[in-house]
């Protein structure tokens, strides 16, 4: 936290301004391919919020909340977990294993065991890099990236071998339908409210919001969270205060891996209902951008995840309506990451000057 | 609440608008991997572009970014009144089976997979027949008595190529040895030209002097390694003869572009038929490539043999075993 600035500027105004800068530059890119930026924004917003779009927007949002929280938790202990892809992928294997091993009688039980399996597999995949970092000093950025590749190879092996459905192409068998998680359509239907029947958003969306709340409790309301933040600010001071680096590194990464893993409840259990190759679809990496933009605060992460959900779904609409290639959205996402992640001082330093001057004048 | 009510009202409106349009207004969906994948997505694109050139009718397109978009993309085009809606790739079968019944007036086409619905045309290719022909050519061109195969990802579809190739080679020369290697077991096996090259080198060391690559982007490495070592290579899907002129014996063609073009054209001429459409040798859906880059390599004898095999397969005199029919191959 920066002491030169009021909290609302630090948490609200700076992300907003950097975002607007990113959009301004994106607008120039849109102009350069001969499209009207205002029209593009209009189509994107309509695409993300119309009755057929919102269910997809929230579905993508759910993924990004999980992976964003995962990166954010690790950030607090100054650990850069780039392994969300692998952790979520392995969690998918975990979900598929428990779903296929037993005929779960009701979705509520399936949801609980699926979530536990996803968290356990995600955490387990994060545990090895965490241990190597804590004990051997192997840099977590390198090891988690390597573990993404190992996870990919392992999942590929499983889907063309032991877990492959008979005679089919690389995917697992379909999960028993009694264990299908309720979609938003089902849930709103209980209250007599209509919703897009085919939207993939499901009960995991609420799971994501609960996870965000619990992360807030963990980081700011528990002793463990305090230790993680202390460790993140200064390892030496933390050790001096009796905090074990091994313990904090392990716990932060296990929590982070478990959160990444929970994404599989949304994609593998909630949407596809079977394990597919490449089920994570880059959400592990988008989580990094979401955590950066959300300034590692759960509220910020949820809002940033929603923004990236809008971009993903609105971007699809750009293709349908204006024929703008999908890569355009990747460009916009990259610009947001660049401005919020690495060019933040471009906004911060002038703002600090303004507020410093205002403060002086106030006192004078 | 108010928002939700508005949402429902809009849903009803959009639903009603679905019935309005029914003109030829084609759309094509590209699978994950992108439009320019040098494989079937790109061939879908080629077919769609050809239709646009010949008829002047514009088409709509969508590149899938996520598995969750499959249903949405089909539904979105059908709702917008696009007809036909064409998609290549086996992964779209589930989505197609869900969406097609909701739009009985829209013609759907799925390539490489079968979906049973009254308004869906399922186009599948007899890759084993085309592979048989290039197998015949390989065995006849080989001087060492050993030919080889490099597959991409180890999936039944690729074994179908391998099995057809082996049958063709054995038919032309019963004593021939066929070496076969798959590049890997995950998606990256489609795009690993370095490994493709290494596998080819090892096959060459084991005596192979003709290699058939059915491995997507990995194939580039195979063709390159074959050219470097001065042995023959066989391309796949598109005509790849131009890639290494002089050492490209031929290419096994899989005409996804024809399937897409036909789908667009049939709807345009009001001749669309649903059901399974097998694109084999008889339909020119698969075949072998002969052009200025390889005409010097194909002797009259080879040409006669391969044309004879082709005629016999079409007439039914030769039956090429399909690996995917029972997941096994009668020859090793």
Whole-angstrom Cα distance, residue A57 to residue A226? Answer: 34
β-bridge pairing B146-153 and B177-184 = parallel
Whole-angstrom Cα distance, residue B34 to residue B39? Answer: 10
Do B101 and B144 have their domain in common?
A: no
**Averaged pLDDT for residues A40-64:** 92
Q: Residue A187 class from Cβ within 10 Å (0-12 exposed, 13-18 middle, 19+ buried)?
A: middle
Whole-angstrom Cα distance, residue B23 to residue B193? Answer: 44
Question: Beta-strand (E) ranges in chain B?
Answer: 27-30, 60-63, 85-88, 108-111, 120-125, 146-153, 177-184, 210-214, 232-237, 248-254, 275-279, 286-288
CB–CB contact B184 A198 (8 Å)? no
* pLDDT for A165: 79
Residues of B in contact with A51 (CB under 8 A): 7-8, 10-11, 14
Range of weakest confidence among A108-122, A166-180, B280-294? A166-180
CB–CB contact A198 B156 (8 Å)? no
Residue of B nearest to A279 (CA): B67
Do B105 and B175 have their domain in common?
A: no
Do B58 and B169 have their domain in common?
A: no
Q: Could you tell me if residue B33 is inside a domain?
A: yes
Residues 6+ apart with CB under 8 A from A309: A48, A57, A58, A59, A60, A61, A62, A64
Helix, strand, coil tally for chain A in percent (to 5): 75, 0, 25
- Compute the half-sphere exposure of residue A293: CA atoms within 13 Å on the CB side of its CA: 30
Q: Could you tell me if residue A292 is inside a domain?
A: no
Do B178 and B302 have their domain in common?
A: yes
* pLDDT for B23: 53
Angle formed by the axes of helices A298-322 and A283-293, nearest 10°:
120
Among residues B94, B109, B125, the one where a domain terminates is B125
Whole-angstrom Cα distance, residue A216 to residue B37? Answer: 44
Do B173 and B308 have their domain in common?
A: yes
* pLDDT for A43: 92
Helix, strand, coil tally for chain B in percent (to 5): 45, 20, 35
Question: What are the structure tokens assigned to A144, written together?
Answer: 């988690």
* pLDDT for A362: 64
Q: Could you tell me if residue B267 is inside a domain?
A: no
Q: Could you tell me if residue B139 is inside a domain?
A: yes
Is residue B73 classed as helix, strand or coil in its secondary structure?
helix
Among residues B125, B149, B184, the one where a domain terminates is B125
Question: What are the structure tokens assigned to A339, written together?
Answer: 């401005």
Q: Could you tell me if residue B180 is inside a domain?
A: yes
* Nearest-by-Cβ selection for A167 from B65, B72, B327: B327
Whole-angstrom Cα distance, residue B332 to residue A138? Answer: 47
Residues of B in contact with A277 (CB under 8 A): 186-187
Residue of A nearest to B155 (CA): A169
* DSSP character at residue B145: S
Q: Could you tell me if residue B274 is inside a domain?
A: no
Range of weakest confidence among A3-12, A103-112, B137-146? A3-12
Question: What are the structure tokens assigned to A5, written together?
Answer: 């600035």
* pLDDT for A244: 93
Whole-angstrom Cα distance, residue B149 to residue B163? Answer: 10
CB–CB contact B187 A277 (8 Å)? yes
Q: Could you tell me if residue A151 is inside a domain?
A: yes
**Averaged pLDDT for residues A313-334:** 85
Specify whether the CB–CB gap between A219 and A297 falls below 8 A.
no
* pLDDT for B18: 39
Q: How far is A326 from chain B (nearest CA, A)?
A: 7
Residues of B in contact with A167 (CB under 8 A): 156, 324, 327
Among residues B75, B100, B125, the one where a domain terminates is B125
Do B39 and B108 have their domain in common?
A: yes
Chain A neighbours among B 4-43 (CB < 8 Å)? Answer: 4, 7-8, 10-11, 14, 32
Q: Could you tell me if residue B133 is inside a domain?
A: yes
Do B154 and B245 have their domain in common?
A: yes
**Closest Cα partner for A250 from A133, A116, A364?**
A133
Q: How far is B154 from chain A (nearest CA, A)?
A: 7
* Nearest-by-Cβ selection for A51 from B11, B156, B324: B11
**Closest Cα partner for B127 from B87, B161, B93?**
B161
Q: How far is B251 from chain A (nearest CA, A)?
A: 25
Is residue B30 classed as helix, strand or coil in its secondary structure?
strand
Q: Residue B220 class from Cβ within 10 Å (0-12 exposed, 13-18 middle, 19+ buried)?
A: buried
Domain that holds residue A121: 62-281
Per-chain mean pLDDT for chain A: 89
Residues of B in contact with A156 (CB under 8 A): 153, 184-189
CB–CB contact A323 B10 (8 Å)? no
Residues of B in contact with A279 (CB under 8 A): 67
> How far is residue A166 CA from its own chain's centroid?
33
* pLDDT for A66: 98
Do B156 and B298 have their domain in common?
A: yes
Do B118 and B132 have their domain in common?
A: no
Domain that holds residue B218: 128-254+286-326
Q: Could you tell me if residue B163 is inside a domain?
A: yes
Q: Which sign does the torsion angle of CA B34, B39, B44, B49 carry?
A: positive
Neighbours of B312 (CB within 10 A): 14
State the residue for tokens 């084993």.
B128
Alpha-carbon distances, residue B33 vs A240, A287, A351, B66 (angstroms):
52, 22, 43, 10
CB–CB contact B61 A56 (8 Å)? no
Whole-angstrom Cα distance, residue A115 to residue A270? Answer: 11
**In a structure prediction context, what are the per-residue pLDDT tens digits for chain B, which is 332 residues long?**
444 444 444 444 444 333 333 457 899 999 876 788 766 788 899 999 999 999 999 999 998 888 788 888 999 899 888 999 999 887 788 889 989 999 999 999 999 888 999 999 999 999 999 999 999 999 999 999 999 999 988 888 899 999 999 999 999 999 999 999 999 877 678 778 899 999 999 999 999 999 999 988 889 899 999 999 999 999 998 888 998 999 999 999 999 999 999 999 999 999 999 999 999 999 889 999 999 999 999 999 999 999 999 999 999 999 999 998 888 898 87
* Nearest-by-Cβ selection for A59 from B68, B77, B185: B68
Q: Could you tell me if residue A310 is inside a domain?
A: no
**Closest Cα partner for B31 from B43, B49, B21?**
B43
Q: Could you tell me if residue A332 is inside a domain?
A: no
Who has greater pLDDT, A200 or A161? A200
* pLDDT for B301: 94
With helix as H, strand as E and coil as C, how does A210-237 read?
A: HHHHHHHHHHHHCHHHHHHHHHHHCHHH
Specify whether the CB–CB gap between A62 and A208 falls below 8 A.
yes
Q: Residue B247's domain is classified under what CATH number?
A: 3.40.50.2300
CB–CB contact A56 B32 (8 Å)? no
Specify whether the CB–CB gap between B87 and B28 falls below 8 A.
yes
> How far is residue B135 CA from its own chain's centroid?
18
Q: B328 in contact with A at a CB cutoff of 8 Å?
A: no
CB–CB contact B185 A161 (8 Å)? yes
Q: How far is A152 from chain B (nearest CA, A)?
A: 7
**Closest Cα partner for B144 from B213, B211, B224, B235?**
B211
Residues of A with CB under 8 A from a CB of B: 50-52, 54, 56, 59-60, 152-153, 155-157, 159-161, 167, 169-171, 188, 193-196, 198, 200, 267, 271-272, 276-279, 281, 312, 315-316, 319-320, 323, 325-326, 329
Neighbours of B34 (CB within 10 A): 17
Q: B185 in contact with A at a CB cutoff of 8 Å?
A: yes
Residues of A in contact with B90 (CB under 8 A): 169
State the residue for tokens 């979520």.
A88
Q: Which sign does the torsion angle of CA B207, B209, B214, B218 carry?
A: positive
Whole-angstrom Cα distance, residue A114 to residue B37? Answer: 35
**Closest Cα partner for A259 from A218, A221, A223?**
A218
Do B89 and B147 have their domain in common?
A: no
Residues 6+ apart with CB under 8 A from A12: none
**Averaged pLDDT for residues A71-76:** 96
* pLDDT for B125: 92
User: What total number of domains does chain B contain?
Assistant: 2
Specify whether the CB–CB gap between A169 and B157 falls below 8 A.
yes
CB–CB contact A157 B186 (8 Å)? yes
Do B197 and B120 have their domain in common?
A: no
**Closest Cα partner for A175 from A111, A108, A113, A101?**
A101
Specify whether the CB–CB gap between A84 and A74 falls below 8 A.
no
Is residue A164 classed as helix, strand or coil in its secondary structure?
strand
- Tell me: pLDDT of A205 over 80: yes
Q: Could you tell me if residue A252 is inside a domain?
A: yes
Alpha-carbon distances, residue B322 vs A202, B96, B193, B325 (angstroms):
41, 25, 28, 5
Question: What are the structure tokens assigned to A186, written together?
Answer: 């089902």
User: What total number of domains does chain A contain?
Assistant: 1
CB–CB contact A193 B4 (8 Å)? yes
Q: Could you tell me if residue A51 is inside a domain?
A: no
Q: Could you tell me if residue B205 is inside a domain?
A: yes
> CA torsion, points A311, A312, A317, A320, in degrees to nearest 10?
140
Q: Could you tell me if residue A223 is inside a domain?
A: yes
Q: Could you tell me if residue A133 is inside a domain?
A: yes
Do B235 and B313 have their domain in common?
A: yes
Residues 6+ apart with CB under 8 A from B307: none
């Amino acid at each position: 936290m920066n002491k030169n600035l009021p909290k609302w500027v630090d948490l609200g105004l700076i992300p907003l301004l950097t975002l607007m800068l990113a959009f301004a530059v994106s607008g120039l890119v849109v102009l350069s391919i001969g499209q009207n930026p205002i029209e593009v924004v209009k189509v994107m917003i309509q695409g993300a919020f119309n009755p057929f779009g919102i269910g997809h927007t929230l579905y993508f949002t759910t993924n990004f909340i999980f992976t964003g929280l995962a990166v954010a938790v690790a950030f607090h202990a100054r650990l850069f977990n780039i392994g969300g892809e692998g952790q979520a992928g392995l969690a998918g294997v975990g979900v598929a294993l428990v779903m296929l091993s037993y005929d779960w009688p009701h979705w509520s039980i399936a949801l609980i065991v699926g979530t536990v399996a996803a968290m356990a597999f995600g955490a387990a995949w994060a545990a090895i890099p965490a241990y190597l970092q804590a004990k051997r000093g192997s840099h977590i950025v390198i090891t988690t990236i390597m573990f993404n590749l190992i996870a990919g190879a392992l999942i590929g092996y499983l889907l063309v071998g032991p877990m492959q459905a008979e005679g089919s192409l690389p995917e697992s068998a379909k999960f028993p339908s009694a264990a299908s998680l309720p979609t938003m359509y089902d849930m709103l239907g209980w209250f007599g409210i209509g919703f897009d029947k085919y939207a993939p958003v499901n009960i995991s969306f609420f799971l994501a919001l609960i996870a965000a709340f619990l992360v807030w409790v963990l980081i700011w309301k528990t002793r463990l969270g305090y230790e993680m933040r202390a460790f993140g600010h200064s390892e030496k001071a933390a050790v001096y205060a009796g905090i074990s680096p091994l313990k904090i590194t392990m716990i932060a990464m296990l929590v982070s891996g478990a959160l990444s893993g929970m994404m599989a409840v949304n994609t593998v259990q909630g949407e596809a209902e079977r394990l597919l190759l490449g089920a994570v679809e880059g959400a592990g990496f988008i989580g990094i951008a979401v955590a950066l933009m959300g300034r590692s605060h759960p509220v910020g992460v949820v809002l940033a995840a929603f923004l990236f959900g809008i971009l993903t779904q609105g971007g699809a609409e750009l293709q349908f309506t204006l024929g703008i290639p999908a890569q355009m959205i990747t460009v916009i996402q990259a610009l947001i990451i660049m401005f919020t992640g690495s060019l933040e001082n471009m906004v911060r330093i002038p703002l600090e000057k303004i507020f410093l001057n205002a403060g002086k004048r106030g006192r004078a | 609440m108010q928002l939700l009510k508005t949402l429902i009202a809009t849903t009803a409106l959009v639903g009603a608008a679905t019935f309005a349009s029914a003109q030829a207004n084609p759309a094509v969906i590209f699978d994950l991997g992108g439009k320019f994948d040098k494989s079937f997505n790109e061939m879908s694109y080629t077919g769609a572009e050809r239709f646009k050139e010949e008829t002047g009718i514009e088409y709509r397109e969508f590149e899938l970014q996520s598995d969750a978009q499959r249903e949405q993309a089909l539904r979105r085009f059908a709702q917008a009144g696009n007809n036909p809606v064409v998609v290549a790739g086996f992964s779209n079968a589930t989505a197609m089976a869900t969406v097609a019944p909701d739009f009985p007036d829209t013609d759907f086409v799925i390539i490489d997979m079968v979906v049973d619905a009254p308004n869906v045309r399922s186009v599948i290719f007899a890759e084993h027949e085309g592979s048989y022909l290039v197998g015949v050519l390989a065995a006849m061109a080989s001087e060492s008595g050993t030919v080889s195969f490099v597959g991409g990802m180890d999936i039944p579809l690729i074994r179908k190529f391998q099995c057809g190739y082996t049958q063709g080679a054995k038919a032309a020369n019963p004593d021939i040895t066929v070496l076969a290697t798959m590049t890997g077991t995950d998606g990256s096996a489609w795009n690993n030209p370095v490994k493709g090259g290494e596998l080819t080198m090892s096959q060459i060391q084991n005596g192979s002097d003709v290699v058939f690559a059915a491995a997507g982007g990995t194939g580039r490495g195979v063709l390159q390694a074959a050219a470097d070592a001065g042995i023959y290579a066989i391309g796949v899907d598109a005509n790849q003869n131009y890639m290494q002129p002089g050492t490209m014996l031929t290419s096994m063609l899989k005409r996804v572009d024809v399937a897409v073009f036909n789908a667009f054209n049939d709807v345009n001429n009001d001749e669309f038929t649903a059901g399974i459409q097998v694109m084999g040798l008889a339909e020119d859906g698969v075949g072998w490539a002969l052009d200025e880059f390889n005409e010097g390599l194909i002797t009259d004898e080879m040409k006669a043999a391969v044309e004879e095999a082709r005629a016999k397969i079409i007439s039914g005199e030769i039956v090429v075993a399909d690996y995917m029919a029972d997941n096994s191959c009668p020859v090793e």
